[in-house]
C-alpha cells in the first residue's frame, strides 16, 4: 500500500497518545498517519539565521515527521504576513482586517517554493501527497514544476470566501489557478465548495462537469468534494473517562458549588466570536436576574499569533469586557465569568467538558470547529450537557440537534442559554444521542478514508 505524505504548515512530533495539548487538526492528522503510515512534513516552528533546507527527521508511532526551520523574513512575510494578515481574515469574511501587501504575497510564494524543493526528494513514486490548508495553496503547483507526478490532494480547513470577497485579493486569479495542479480538493461544507466553484467558473471561465464534481480550467481537471473532518470519537470518549478527566470533572463540580457551568474553549481569535459571546452572556444575566447566580461561564482562550496587531486588540477587548461584566454582576460568593488565557491538555479539557451543563461554541465563521464535536463526545450519556452552536460553523451542517444560534445576536445567545438550562433530561439525551451517532459514524477515519479513497482513485499521470 502506498504511503501518505501529509504536508502542513506546522507539524506535531509523534506523541504516542492523545493527551497532549494539541489542536483538533493535529490529532486528526496523527490518526490518519498512524493508520496509513508515511511522513508528516512542514515547518518546525523554529527560526534559523538563513534558510538551509536541512530536514530534521523524527521517527515514531507509525510515521515519520520531517521538519525544516525558516528564516526571520520567511516567518514575517509567509506566516505572520500573508497567511495570518491576508488569507485568514479574508477567508473568514473579515476584509476590513485583511492586509494586501506585495511583500507578504512574495514571501508566501517563496516559502512554498522552498517547501517544494525540500520535500520533493522525500516523495516516492507510489506515494499519495495530501497538502493541508491555506498556508500551502501553491505547493501542489510547485511540486508539479519539480516533476512530481504523484496523486496530490488539497484540503481546506477554513471557509472559502464568497466570490465577491475573494475578488478583493489582488492575486486572486493566480492563487486559484494554482489549485488546478491538484487532483482532488476537499472542503468541509457545500457552501465552501460552491464558493470556490463560483469564483472559478464566473470569474475565470472554468467549466463544471460531472454534475459539478469536476472543474476544468486550461486543460487541467480537479475533482472537488465535500469531506467534513471528524474527531477520533472513541479515543476522546475514553479520554473523558480517564483518571485525569475524572479528577478534573470532580474538581470543576466542587468549584461550581451547585451552579451550572457554561464552557467555551477557543483560540484567542476574532473569528471565534468571543466578544459577541460575552455580550450575549451579559444579556442573559441582565434579562434573567433570577437565573444569574445559578450559572457561571468558564472561557478558556489560549493566546495565538501574539505578534499580529488584531490579536492584541481582541485580547484587550475581552479583558475589558470580562472585567466590566464581573464588576457589574459579581457578588461576594459568585463571579459570572472565569476568563483563562492558557491552554490545557486534552484529557483535562475532556473533564471540563463533562462537568459543564452547556458547551458554548459560537464562532462568527469557522471551517468546521472540532471543539463542538469533542464537547459532545465527552458527555455522560445518562446526563449530557447541551451544545449551543453557531449556525456559521461548518459543524452546524452535521449537528442539527444542537441549539443553533446566530452569534451576532446577543438576544439569540441569551435565549439559547435559558433554553439549555431549562431543557428536560430526556430531550438532552435525545439530542446528544443523535449528535453522537453522527460523530461516531463520520469520525476522523471516515474523513481520512473518504478523501484518500477519492485521491487514490485518480489515475497516476503517465511519464
pLDDT of residue 14: 65
Cell 444521542 belongs to 433
H or E element at residue 358: strand 358-361
pLDDT band at 18 (very low <50, low <70, confident <90, very high): very low
Q: 307 with 426, same domain?
A: yes
Q: Is 313 a catalytic residue?
A: no
Q: 194 with 318, same domain?
A: no
In a domain, 134, yes or no: yes
Is the pLDDT confidence value at 424 over 90?
yes
pLDDT of residue 306: 63
Q: 201 with 288, same domain?
A: no
- Per residue in 110-166, pLDDT tens? 999 999 999 999 999 999 999 999 999 999 999 999 999 999 999 999 999 999 999
pLDDT of residue 58: 93
3: cell is 504511503
Q: 87 with 190, same domain?
A: yes
Which is it for the CA torsion 214, 215, 216, 221, positive or negative? Answer: negative
Give the percent of the chain with pLDDT over 70: 95
Active-site annotation holder among 18, 157, 188, 329: 157
- Per residue in 51-98, pLDDT tens? 999 999 999 778 999 999 999 999 999 999 999 999 999 999 999 999
In a domain, 27, yes or no: yes
284: cell is 442573559
Task: Return d(Cα 217, Cα 200) in angstroms, integer.
Answer: 8
Q: 21 with 79, same domain?
A: yes
Q: Are 136 and 113 in contact (CB under 8 A)?
A: no
Which is it for the CA torsion 314, 317, 319, 321, positive or negative? Answer: negative
Q: 409 with 297, same domain?
A: yes
Q: Are 69 and 34 in contact (CB under 8 A)?
A: no
pLDDT band at 305 (very low <50, low <70, confident <90, very high): low
Nearest-CA neighbor of 119 among 49, 76, 65? Answer: 65
Task: Return d(Cα 348, Cα 351) in angstroms, integer.
Answer: 5
Eight-class DSSP state of 199: I
Active-site annotation holder among 127, 266, 347, 366: 366
Task: Return d(Cα 95, Cα 168) in angstroms, integer.
Answer: 8
Q: 106 with 237, same domain?
A: no
In a domain, 463, yes or no: no
pLDDT band at 463 (very low <50, low <70, confident <90, very high): low
Q: The CATH number of the domain where 177 resides is what?
A: 3.40.50.2000
pLDDT of residue 19: 41
Q: Are 151 and 458 in contact (CB under 8 A)?
A: yes
- Per residue in 444-456, pLDDT tens? 889 989 999 999 9
Task: Return d(Cα 149, Cα 127) in angstroms, integer.
Answer: 10
Q: 206 with 242, same domain?
A: no
pLDDT of residue 32: 75
314: cell is 481582541
Is the pLDDT confidence value at 362 over 60?
yes
Mean pLDDT of the chain: 93
Range 366-375 average pLDDT: 96
Q: 221 with 279, same domain?
A: no
Nearest-CA neighbor of 264 among 378, 349, 384, 348? Answer: 349
261-271 burial by CB neighbour count: b if 16+ within 10 A, else e?
bbbbbbbbbbb
Q: 266 with 354, same domain?
A: yes
Q: 155 with 254, same domain?
A: no
Domain of residue 448 covers 4-230+444-456
pLDDT of residue 313: 87
Q: 198 with 238, same domain?
A: no
In a domain, 461, yes or no: no
Helical segments of 189-308, H only? 190-198, 233-240, 243-256, 274-287
pLDDT of residue 307: 64
| Helices 243-256/346-355 angle, 10° precision | 40
Is the pLDDT confidence value at 25 over 80?
no
Helical segments of 37-181, H only? 72-74, 88-91, 102-119, 139-145, 163-166, 172-178
- Per residue in 337-360, pLDDT tens? 999 999 999 999 999 999 999 999
Q: Is 366 a catalytic residue?
A: yes
In a domain, 381, yes or no: yes
Instruction: Indicate the number of domains in the chain.
Output: 2
Amino acid at each position: 500500500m502506498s504511503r501518505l505524505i501529509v504536508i502542513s504548515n506546522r507539524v506535531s512530533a509523534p506523541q504516542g497518545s492523545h493527551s497532549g495539548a494539541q489542536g483538533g487538526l493535529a490529532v486528526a492528522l496523527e490518526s490518519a498517519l498512524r493508520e496509513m503510515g508515511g511522513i508528516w512534513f512542514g515547518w518546525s516552528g523554529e527560526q534559523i539565521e538563513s534558510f538551509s533546507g536541512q530536514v530534521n527527521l523524527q521517527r515514531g508511532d507509525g510515521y515519520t515527521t520531517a521538519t525544516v526551520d525558516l528564516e526571520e523574513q520567511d516567518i514575517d512575510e509567509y506566516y505572520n504576513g500573508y497567511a495570518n494578515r491576508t488569507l485568514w481574515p479574508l477567508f473568514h469574511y473579515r476584509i476590513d482586517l485583511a492586509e494586501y501587501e506585495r511583500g507578504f504575497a512574495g514571501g508566501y510564494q517563496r516559502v512554498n517554493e522552498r517547501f517544494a524543493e525540500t520535500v520533493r526528494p522525500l516523495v516516492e513514486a507510489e506515494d499519495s501527497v495530501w497538502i493541508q490548508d491555506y498556508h500551502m495553496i501553491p505547493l501542489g503547483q510547485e511540486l508539479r514544476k519539480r516533476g512530481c507526478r504523484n496523486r496530490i490532494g488539497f484540503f481546506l480547513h477554513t471557509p472559502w470566501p464568497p466570490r465577491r470577497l475573494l475578488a478583493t485579493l489582488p492575486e486572486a486569479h493566480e492563487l486559484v489557478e494554482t489549485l488546478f495542479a491538484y487532483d482532488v480538493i476537499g472542503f468541509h461544507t457545500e457552501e465552501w465548495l460552491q464558493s470556490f466553484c463560483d469564483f472559478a467558473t464566473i470569474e475565470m471561465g472554468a467549466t463544471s462537469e460531472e454534475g459539478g464534481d469536476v472543474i476544468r480550467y486550461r486543460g487541467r481537471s480537479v475533482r472537488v468534494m465535500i469531506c467534513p473532518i471528524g474527531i477520533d470519537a472513541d479515543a476522546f470518549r475514553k479520554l473523558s473517562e480517564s483518571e485525569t478527566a475524572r479528577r478534573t470533572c470532580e474538581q470543576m463540580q466542587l468549584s461550581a458549588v451547585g451552579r451550572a457551568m457554561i464552557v467555551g474553549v477557543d483560540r484567542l481569535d476574532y473569528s471565534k466570536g468571543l466578544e459577541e459571546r460575552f455580550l450575549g452572556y451579559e444579556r442573559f444575566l441582565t434579562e434573567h436576574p433570577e437565573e444569574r447566580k445559578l450559572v457561571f461561564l468558564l472561557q478558556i482562550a489560549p493566546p495565538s499569533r501574539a505578534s499580529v496587531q488584531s490579536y492584541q486588540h481582541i485580547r484587550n477587548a475581552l479583558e475589558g469586557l470580562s472585567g466590566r461584566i464581573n464588576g457589574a454582576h459579581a457578588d461576594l460568593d459568585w463571579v459570572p465569568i472565569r476568563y483563562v488565557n492558557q491552554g490545557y491538555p486534552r484529557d483535562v479539557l475532556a473533564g471540563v467538558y463533562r462537568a459543564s451543563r452547556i458547551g458554548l461554541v459560537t464562532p462568527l465563521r469557522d471551517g468546521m470547529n472540532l471543539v463542538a464535536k469533542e464537547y459532545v463526545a465527552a458527555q455522560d450519556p445518562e446526563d449530557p450537557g447541551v451544545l449551543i452552536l453557531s449556525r456559521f460553523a461548518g459543524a452546524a451542517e452535521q449537528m442539527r440537534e444542537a441549539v443553533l444560534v446566530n452569534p451576532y445576536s446577543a438576544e439569540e445567545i441569551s435565549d439559547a442559554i435559558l433554553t439549555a438550562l431549562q431543557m428536560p433530561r430526556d430531550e438532552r439525551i435525545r439530542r446528544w444521542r443523535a449528535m453522537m451517532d453522527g460523530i461516531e459514524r463520520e469520525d476522523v477515519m471516515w474523513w481520512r478514508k473518504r478523501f484518500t479513497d477519492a485521491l487514490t482513485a485518480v489515475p497516476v499521470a503517465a511519464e
